[in-house]
Amino acid sequence: MISINGMAHVMINVSHWEDCCEFYHALLPFFGMKLVFSGKDTVYYVGGRTALGINRVYPPDDKERFNQKRVGLHHLCFRAKHRKDIDTLYRHLMEIDAKIIHQPEGGGWAPGYYSILFEDPSGTRLELNHVPGAGVLATNVNFDPGNDYK
Domain of 104: which CATH number?
3.10.180.10
Q: With 0.85 as the threshold, say if the pTM is over it.
A: yes
Specify if 81 maps to a domain: yes
pLDDT at 145: 56
Specify if 17 maps to a domain: yes
Full residue range of the structural domain in which residue 104 is found: 10-61+74-138
Cβ contact 122:65 at 8 Å: yes
Q: What is the mean pLDDT of residues 96-119?
A: 94
> Which among 72, 40, 74 is positioned nearest to 55, based on CA atoms?
40
Structural domain count, the chain: 1
Neighbours of 36 (CB within 10 A): 12
Distance from C-alpha of 30 to C-alpha of 47, rounded to nearest angstrom: 11
Q: CB within 8 A of 44, min separation 6: which ones?
A: 9, 35, 36, 37, 38, 51, 52, 53, 54
Specify if 1 maps to a domain: no
Specify if 3 maps to a domain: no
Residue 12: band (very low, low, confident or very high) from pLDDT cuts 50, 70, 90: very high
Specify if 67 maps to a domain: no
CA dihedral 99, 21, 73, 11 (to 10 degrees): -160
What's the pLDDT tens digit per position in 15-49? Answer: 999 999 999 999 999 999 999 999 999 999 999 99
